[in-house]
Amino acid sequence: MVPSTNPELEQVRQKLLMEEAQRRAEAKRARWLGNPPAKCEVCSAPIDDEFVDGRLVLGPWANMCCICHHNQGVGLGTGKGQHYRMESNGVYYKVRG
């Protein structure tokens, strides 16, 4: 694409391109698609802004608070668990695992 000779028009065009790139990057981020858990399935503590969807040492999987994951989880990664954190837009995004 040939840049415009009008600086204001070129500035608007660049802004639109950057916004589109941000939207595409946001769409590629892994996020929690269902309803987020209200409480830890291990200790029943309320889950506010982060949780782990992970496997427990004894075998089953659970949506759990970070403390229970630390004490009873098997780690993070494929076949182990994923750590999700809520961002300011109210969406839980995967931050590790």
Domain count along the chain: 2
pLDDT at 25 over 80: no
Per the listing, tokens 């204001």 go with 8
Shared-domain flag, residues 38 and 79: yes
Report the alpha-carbon distance of residue 81 to residue 95 in Å, rounded. 11
Question: Which class for 47: exposed (0-12), middle (13-18), buried (19 or more C-beta within 10 A)?
Answer: buried
Domain containing residue 2: 1-29
CA–CA distances in Å: residue 32 to residues 21, 41, 61, 71, 91: 22, 17, 16, 23, 7
Shared-domain flag, residues 25 and 36: no
* pTM for the structure as a whole: 0.73
Query: What is the pLDDT of the chain when averaged over all its residues?
Result: 89
Shared-domain flag, residues 10 and 54: no
Shared-domain flag, residues 89 and 43: yes
Shared-domain flag, residues 24 and 37: no
Report the alpha-carbon distance of residue 80 to residue 67 in Å, rounded. 16
pLDDT in tens, 38-71: 999 999 999 999 999 999 999 899 999 999 999 9
